[in-house]
Structure 1
Amino acid sequence: MTARMTARFADLKRQNRAGLVTFITAGDPDDRTSAAVLRALPEAGADVIELGMPFTDPMADGPTIQAAALRALKAGHRLSKTLAMVRDFRAGDDATPIVLMGYYNPIYVYGVDRFLADAKAAGVDGLIVVDLPPEEDRELCIPALEAGLNFIRLATPTTDDARLPAVLQNTSGFVYYVSVNGITGSAIPDYSRVASSVQRIKRHTDLPIAVGFGVKTPEGAAEVAAHADAVVVGTALIDVLARSLDAGHATPTTVDAVRGFVEGLARGVRSAKRPAPAAQEDRP
């Protein structure tokens, strides 16, 4: 893991609580508002931030995140501006891990080596690139690891025990468990299965397990936080942002609306009842 990611999950473990991972799309609805939202997330209780790289064809995302990407692109946002957002954020926050999430095409167009160097220099901690399977690790995953960035994989309910070793082989930072099949925002997870799914993955890795897709409320976040190492919320957060807009443009309520929603999620995560940590053996 990068130093920031290691420190954050170690701190969460000491507190015996799950982390809150929040997703926003960079540049949505415009660069200035997006930067203000980004700064507000840690203040509101986010422990890790996923920052979406806008793309014209986000195949794994539902209508909400697709619309966010289109708003950002229409406002002139590009990958270079995403990196600039991270660099500016780091001037005031050098502790919160930031993971860029998206698709390979914008990175390929930017240039892999140039992108990795610029991302590292800007203060990015990791990448989630949803359309590069383990069989394509030489394209980006291995170079990212060599550049000192985490490469975070997604596991799903259909990722069985035979497939998990390949998924986890070069994964670092944390494992993102997608608790429902389908696109983002498509369904509510079956919380009764989260515990068993997390435990199954933990038999294959010591990495933290973050669970997302379908978490929409503080109560749902608490359900997941009782078993996972982190809870990921994206679509519901973007929905709150979108409802604050006027014809696609930011209003005076936009940043506060997002902040208030994340504060509620953070309270939910922190209220989760978790098993007491295992007692440490006494050592001479």
Structure 2
Amino acid sequence: MRRQKISEKFSELRERKEGALICYVMAGDPSAEGTGEIVKALVDGGADIIELGFPFSDPVADGPTIQVAGQRALAAGMDTRRYFELVKTLEVRIPLVCMTYYNPVFRYGVEKFVEQAADAGISGLIVPDIPVEEAVDLNNSCEKYGLDLIFLVAPTTTEGRVRKILEKGSGFLYLVSRLGVTGAREDISSSTRELLSRIETGIPKAVGFGISTGKQAAEVREAGADAVIVGSAFVRIIEEGKDVNDRLKALAEELKSGIRRAS
């Protein structure tokens, strides 16, 4: 099964005048086998893109919920080889994005990691701890093997650095809705609206960090986002371990419904 490129998915959604739902889960949490069912439930619920986390022992951008998920995945035996094997088994047509940190990519070999990610069917790569100025090797490998390299922009990112990111980034722009780490919040920060309004680009703008309800998803879409990214709310359901797939599907449906209402 050929998976869509990220650009193909956004093109499809633009024709329908619809925003994207991007769902994050940790590969291997609670197990490699369980991840396949989790991804299916999210797709059934309306996910347009799946971010599949590759666990790392020192995830500086992640809050407690995703940190613990990474620890569970590592304890269950997730490693680079198993990650790519898992990705190959996922029977989904929508784009899959790998989110990880630079240390495991560098240790494995940058070009080798990107080549195998592309071979497994990954469409894009997010590495939040590598600055755009230091991502030359990674960017070159992504261009060589046809992967989108997705960068993060925070409320504190300077205009000069934003320009550099827009020159090098592709797929979508990951806009961090607030300062701090990942994790569900009750409100949508005013900095989200300010960030969306000051970034002018043809690259789709996706907002993440803190979104967990259909109401919040609608607010972010109304503020001008092309996509809404949700992670910790899904990972918490997986951690609780009760009626996981049904609850994941229901939350995805709620979020997607909110996005559609605001489109």
TM-score, normalised via structure 1 length: 0.87
Which ranges in structure 1 are unaligned for 5 or more consecutive residues? 246-252, 275-284
Identity %: 40
The match for 1:232 among 229, 232, 244 is 229
Q: Which amino acid aligns with 2:259?
A: V
CA distance in structure 1 between the partners assigned to 2:72 and 2:105 by the alignment: 20
The reply on whether 1:130 has 2:143 as its aligned counterpart is no
Runs of 4+ in 1 over 3 A off after TM superposition: 186-196
Query: How far did residue 5 of structure 1 move?
Result: 1.2
The residue correspondences of 1:90-109 to structure 2 (distance < 5 A) are 92-94=91-93, 96-109=94-107
CA distance in structure 1 between the partners assigned to 2:100 and 2:9 by the alignment: 23
The residue correspondences of 1:46-85 to structure 2 (distance < 5 A) are 46-85=47-86
CA distance in structure 1 between the partners assigned to 2:87 and 2:261 by the alignment: 30
- Going from structure 1 to structure 2, the CA distance change for 1:188 and 1:139 (only over 3 Å counts) comes to farther
CA distance in structure 2 between the partners assigned to 1:193 and 1:54 by the alignment: 29
CA distance in structure 2 between the partners assigned to 1:157 and 1:71 by the alignment: 31
CA distance in structure 1 between the partners assigned to 2:44 and 2:184 by the alignment: 29
User: Is residue 26–residue 53 contact of structure 1 (8 Å, CA) maintained in 2?
Assistant: yes
- Going from structure 1 to structure 2, the CA distance change for 1:108 and 1:193 (only over 3 Å counts) comes to closer
Q: Which amino acid aligns with 1:11?
A: E
Q: Which residue of 1 aligns with 2:240?
A: 243
The reply on whether 1:216 has 2:181 as its aligned counterpart is no
CA distance in structure 2 between the partners assigned to 1:259 and 1:79 by the alignment: 27
The residue correspondences of 1:108-123 to structure 2 (distance < 5 A) are 108-123=106-121
Determine helix, strand or coil for the equivalent of 1:140.
helix
Q: Which residue of 2 aligns with 1:87?
A: 88
The reply on whether 1:266 has 2:262 as its aligned counterpart is no
Query: How far did residue 194 of structure 1 move?
Result: 3.2
User: Is residue 112–residue 140 contact of structure 1 (8 Å, CA) maintained in 2?
Assistant: yes
User: Is residue 178–residue 191 contact of structure 2 (8 Å, CA) maintained in 1?
Assistant: no
Equivalenced residue count is: 260
Whichever structure has more helix as a proportion of its residues is: 2
CA distance in structure 2 between the partners assigned to 1:270 and 1:191 by the alignment: 21
Q: What do you get for the CA RMSD once the two structures are aligned?
A: 1.7
User: Is residue 210–residue 232 contact of structure 1 (8 Å, CA) maintained in 2?
Assistant: yes
- Going from structure 1 to structure 2, the CA distance change for 1:3 and 1:170 (only over 3 Å counts) comes to farther
Query: How far did residue 257 of structure 1 move?
Result: 2.1
User: Is residue 96–residue 124 contact of structure 2 (8 Å, CA) maintained in 1?
Assistant: yes
CA distance in structure 2 between the partners assigned to 1:254 and 1:81 by the alignment: 23
CA distance in structure 2 between the partners assigned to 1:225 and 1:29 by the alignment: 31
User: Is residue 184–residue 212 contact of structure 2 (8 Å, CA) maintained in 1?
Assistant: no
User: Is residue 48–residue 98 contact of structure 1 (8 Å, CA) maintained in 2?
Assistant: yes
Which ranges in structure 2 are unaligned for 5 or more consecutive residues? none
Q: Which amino acid aligns with 1:29?
A: P
TM-score, normalised via structure 2 length: 0.93
Q: Which amino acid aligns with 1:241?
A: I
CA distance in structure 1 between the partners assigned to 2:240 and 2:221 by the alignment: 26
User: Is residue 180–residue 189 contact of structure 1 (8 Å, CA) maintained in 2?
Assistant: no
Determine helix, strand or coil for the equivalent of 1:51.
strand
Determine helix, strand or coil for the equivalent of 1:86.
helix
Q: Which amino acid aligns with 1:232?
A: I
CA distance in structure 2 between the partners assigned to 1:186 and 1:258 by the alignment: 15
Q: Which amino acid aligns with 1:264?
A: E
- Going from structure 1 to structure 2, the CA distance change for 1:99 and 1:155 (only over 3 Å counts) comes to same
CA distance in structure 2 between the partners assigned to 1:162 and 1:188 by the alignment: 32
